[in-house]
Structure 1
Amino acid sequence: MKQVNIGGVPEHFNLAWYLALKSGAFKDVNINLRWKDYYGGTGDMCKALRNEEIDLAVILTEGIIKDIVEGNPSSIVQVFVKSPLIWGVHVAADSTYQTIDDLKGTKAAISRYGSGSHLMAYINAKNNAWNLDADLNFEVVKNLDGAVEALSNKQADYFLWEKFTTKPIVDDGVFRRIANCPTPWPCFVIAASNTFVENHRSELKTILNIINTITADFKDIPSIDKTISNRYGQKIEDVQQWLSLTEWSQDVLDEKTTLNVQDELYKLRIIESKLPYKKLTANL
């Protein structure tokens, strides 16, 4: 049985993988898929791909594109979630900040440099016409728990994270969300190390076929809203709203989107160069 290591964030977006693993779908085709939760998010997974600790990652589009441009020997093999990710802009519930303008020049908590929370701070700054040099400051907090601590202790002033994941923290009166900042592209892709693509193409295709079968009908799974609510500690109405906004994909990332992401990152000075489409993606 071939062992394949995959990483992703421990969030509701990835429930389809859990359901596939629980059903034994991968073992039925002689693949021992081992899932690892990455609480540090995209930056953590990029490092794990580089170090060959994992073969696959379900990862933020902009984060993996940045890291491949910077030398990560991996490729995007498919879009996983084609709808935008809605990032909430959060402050401590007891802070004096009320609007985005109040945050100009203050300190953003980020899980790590190169993470989604880091890159989206730039997108948010650009959307609000901030000076990218003078108005952005960062505090590395590792993960969501670190952000809670940093905002509560005034070590950082605001934090961008997926709004439905943080909604229970908002409901508990720890965070207050003052704005939303959606990604201008599909939010999650599946990336694979080039070594895995080259040596295990057949297994990769099989894995994608299995997960695509589940995501194609994900919203039609009986009581899926209750399952998500119970597993991730979210209110049923929040889950239902999230399901209405989220669309999975079974397609490759197209060239236009890939170039658009790079253009945006380049304009924001997050990357210093751009790569051709074929250097970022793998054609299976």
Structure 2
Amino acid sequence: MPLRIGYVREHFSSPLLQFAQADEGRTISLVECPSGTGQLISRLTKNEIDVAIALTDPLISGIANGSEAYKLIGSYVKTPLNWAVVAGKDSTYEKISDLKDTTIGISRIGSGSQTMAYVMGFQQGWSSESMNFQVNNDIRGLIDSVNDGSTSAFMWEWFTTKPWLNSGEVRFIGSVPTPWPSWLIAAQTSADADALKEFLTTLSSYVRAFDSAESRATKNVDFIRAAFSYNEEDIKSWMKTVGYFPECANLPKDVILETLDVLKKAGVVKAPEGGFTLDKFINPKVVKLT
């Protein structure tokens, strides 16, 4: 039975989409999760997917906050994610500091949009207890909320949101890059280890091909334009900022430890007495810590 791979249909997923096209359902079956990492984690918990390619911070904070439904099995994108801070087209908010004590839109509880709002608040000196959120499910709901005034702003990946900026439907009032590599891979604890290792090995080959200098200079632009209808200028700008881990089954220890350190300071997780242990976060039958 093919592994059910949960993913967000964004440009970051291009190597996975190329893998799936060639695989034709033999070893993997893609399950789109348009609401983002919060939805991916929910589907892992409900046994609706076997694997999630998702944002680093919610995956790690979910385990740190007690989830036993999944473990980290690998790495994906090694560069930071640049989160745009997005306000309504006619709102009065002009900069991030204007958002203090307002209601921030998020896709789901525990999502990257919420985690990064806490990080933004930490950087601004706001207490996590003072931050207010409204769940709006997906990008459409988030855009509607900043324009009807029910929220002040939301955070979403810069290039994914840029089409709505270009159309004049929203404004960008700032950005907050993640202080960690942006995407990791997690799987249900009950998923077959051999199947997971085979998946990671094959995915790595597509990641290396996509990340190569030759592909960056030629076919990547055409693929992303066809798959996502982005304009060529935005695709080329994004390609200059992104890098992938060449071996998806390897995971640097520092990614987990340094992410936990920031999340603790932002009030997203609380360390147990004696601190966190790396074993809590990984499936050692699949991933190799480096």
Q: Tell me the residue number matched to 2:88.
A: 92
Alignment check: 8 A CA contact 1:26 1:210 kept: no
CA contact (8 A) 1:49 1:72 kept: no
Tell me by how many angstroms 1:155 deviates: 0.9
Equivalent residue for 2:282? 281
1:81-106 CA-to-partner distances (Å, cap 9, x unmatched) read 01000000010121111111111111
What SS is found at the alignment partner of 1:34? strand
Q: Take 1:256 and 1:212, find their aligned partners in 2: how far apart are those partners?
A: 21
- Deviation string 1:96-139 (CA, Å, 9 cap, x unpaired) is 111111111111100011000000001111112223333x2111
Counterparts of residues 188-203 of structure 1 (less than 5 Å): 188-196=183-191, 200-203=192-195
Q: Secondary structure at the match of 2:84?
A: strand
Q: TM-score, normalised by structure 2?
A: 0.91
Q: Does 1:227 align with 2:223?
A: yes
- Aligned amino acid, residue 190 of structure 1: I
Q: How far, CA to CA, are the matches of 1:213 and 1:189 in structure 2? A: 16
From 196, 203, 207, the counterpart of 1:211? 203
* Aligned residue among 152, 161, 165 for 1:157: 152
TM-score, length-scaled by structure 1: 0.92
Q: What secondary structure sits across from 1:133 in the alignment?
A: helix
Identity of aligned residues (%): 29
Distance 1:177 1:14 in 2: 24
> What amino acid maps onto 1:228 in structure 2?
I
Tell whether 2:187 aligns with 1:173.
no
What is residue 10 of structure 2 aligned with on the other side? 11
Deviation larger for 227-236 or 178-187? 227-236
Q: C-alpha separation between the residues in 2 aligned to 1:42 and 1:242? A: 21
- Give the CA deviation at 1:73: 2.4
* 1:263 Cα offset (Å): 2.0
Q: Quick check: 66-75 or 231-240, which moved more?
A: 66-75
Distance 1:233 1:282 in 2: 37
- State the shift of 1:26 in Å: 6.5
Q: Does 1:268 align with 2:266?
A: yes
SS of the equivalent of 2:190 reads helix
In structure 1, C-alpha distance between the alignment counterparts of 2:12 and 2:61, rounded to whole Å: 22
Secondary structure, counterpart of 2:2 in structure 1? strand
**Structure 2 partner of 1:34:** 29
Contact 2:118 2:267 in 1 (8 A): no
Residue 42 (structure 2) pairs with residue 47 (structure 1): yes
Q: Any conservation in 1 of the 2:2–2:25 contact (CA below 8 Å)?
A: no
Where does the alignment leave 5 or more consecutive residues of structure 2 unmatched? none
For structure 1, the residue ranges without an aligned partner over 5 or more in a row are: none
**Aligned equivalents of 1:117 and 1:79: distance in 2?**
20
CA contact (8 A) 1:168 1:233 kept: no
- Number of residues paired by the alignment? 275
CA distance in 2, matches of 1:41, 1:54: 14
Q: Distance in 2 between matches of 1:131 and 1:52?
A: 35
**Which residue, out of 79, 94, 97, partners 2:75?**
79
